[in-house]
């Protein structure tokens, strides 16, 4: 027999997901979920997140990969959490390298520089960093555009998880660099210099070490977190490992570019 309480909870999760989806589609903000449900759990928030992604898939979007958030150890300490959060990437979020983002389609978008992995094969469960990297086809420079559905970018952890970790759009560089190609250059995935530019002016510099001390650790952490729901990564997935510097607000007329040692660049224009 179906438990009526479970059915009621599922309906509530779906209602909240549709609420957040509509806010994104209509370019408006909504109150934080935790304002009316102080007991919202992280597990429930991830269930809402999946229902939110199902809304996008129902409109024709396809799975594109996953993203990690809160991958800065300092940021985690600041907000009082012990592990990052993750979100889903869909095909309608992907913007071509050098493509144009229309500012009016988003509430308060911000861009941040990242390292992206391209998965060569399916992978699931708790694995070592070496095992995870062996399943990677290569790495790319990336820009993620985040845009919270909540007013003033203010939310609790459960709110942002439900909102798909503020995912909005992303750009990856045209070149996929196999990890083995970094080593002859004397480069390490653990410490790649990263530069974020706006209109040709450097606004932030950082290192891939800011991403959980090593982007490979971000990848294995994601796999461990997905395993709690019996999920994993798939061949062809793009994985955004996390931001290496603070995000920059986007305004019409801007040209934003990230440059990463050994990997090249990724860029977008704002209209």
Q: For residue 247, what are the CA distances in angstroms to 37, 87, 170, 227, 242? A: 29, 17, 13, 29, 11
| Residue 2: per-residue pLDDT | 40
pLDDT in tens, 28-65: 999 999 999 999 999 999 999 999 999 999 999 999 99
Give the tokens for residue 34. 């935790």
Bigger pLDDT: 81 or 197?
Answer: 197
User: Span 201-221, mean pLDDT?
Assistant: 96
pLDDT at 91: 98
Q: Which helix (H) or strand (E) holds 53?
A: helix 42-58
Q: Which residues of 231-248 are buried (b: 16+ CB within 10 A; e: fewer)?
A: ebbeeebbbbbbbbbebb
The predicted pLDDT at position 73 comes to: 74
pLDDT tens, position by position, 86-111? 999 999 999 999 999 999 999 999 99
3-state DSSP assignment of residue 97:
coil
What CATH number is attached to the domain comprising 94? 3.90.850.10
Q: How many domains does the chain have?
A: 1
Using 50, 70 and 90 to split pLDDT, how confident is the model at 1? very low
pLDDT of residue 4: 44
Structure tokens at 180: 């083995």
Which residues, listed in sequence order, are joined to residue 232 by a DSSP beta bridge? 124
| Beta strands, E only, 120-236 | 123-124, 136-146, 167-172, 193-198, 201-207, 232-233
Q: Would you place residue 10 in the very low, low, confident or very high pLDDT band (cuts 50, 70, 90)? A: confident
Under DSSP, the state recorded for 62 is -
Structural domain of 49: 4-270
- Most distant CA pair in the chain: distance in Å? 63
Contact 172, 142 (CB under 8 A): yes
Give the containing element (helix H, strand E) for 222.
helix 215-227
The CA distance from 194 to 202, in Å, is: 10
Query: Which range among 8-17, 62-71, 184-193, 211-220 shows the weakest confidence by mean pLDDT?
Result: 8-17
CA pair distance 24, 197, nearest whole angstrom: 27
pTM (global) more than 0.85: yes
Planar angle of CA 153, 159, 165, nearest 5 degrees = 75
Q: Which of 66, 72, 82, 65 is nearest to 243 (CA)?
A: 72
């Amino acid at each position: 027999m179906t438990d009526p309480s479970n059915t009621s909870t599922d309906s509530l999760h779906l209602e909240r997901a549709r609420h957040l989806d509509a806010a994104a589609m209509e370019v408006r903000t909504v109150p934080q979920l935790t304002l009316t449900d102080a007991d919202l759990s992280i597990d429930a928030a991830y269930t809402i997140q999946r229902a939110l992604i199902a809304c996008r898939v129902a409109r024709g979007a396809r799975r594109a990969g996953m993203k990690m958030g809160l991958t800065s150890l300092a940021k985690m300490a600041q907000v009082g959490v012990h592990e990052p959060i993750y979100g889903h990437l869909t095909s309608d979020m992907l913007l071509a390298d050098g493509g144009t983002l229309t500012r009016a389609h988003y509430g308060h978008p911000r861009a941040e520089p990242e390292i992206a992995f391209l998965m060569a094969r399916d992978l699931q469960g708790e694995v070592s960093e070496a095992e995870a990297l062996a399943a990677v086809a290569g790495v790319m420079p990336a820009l993620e555009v985040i845009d919270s559905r909540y007013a003033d970018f203010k939310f609790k952890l459960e709110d942002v998880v439900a909102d798909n970790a503020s995912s909005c759009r992303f750009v990856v560089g045209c070149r996929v660099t196999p990890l083995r190609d970094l080593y002859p250059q004397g480069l390490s995935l653990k410490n790649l210099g990263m530069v974020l530019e706006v209109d040709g002016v450097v606004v932030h510099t950082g290192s891939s070490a800011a991403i959980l001390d090593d982007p490979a650790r971000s990848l294995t952490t994601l796999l461990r977190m997905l395993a709690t729901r019996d999920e994993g990564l798939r061949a062809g997935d793009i994985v955004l490992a996390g931001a290496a510097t603070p995000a920059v607000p986007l305004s019409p007329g801007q040209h934003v570019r990230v440059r990463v040692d050994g990997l090249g660049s990724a860029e977008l224009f704002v209209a």
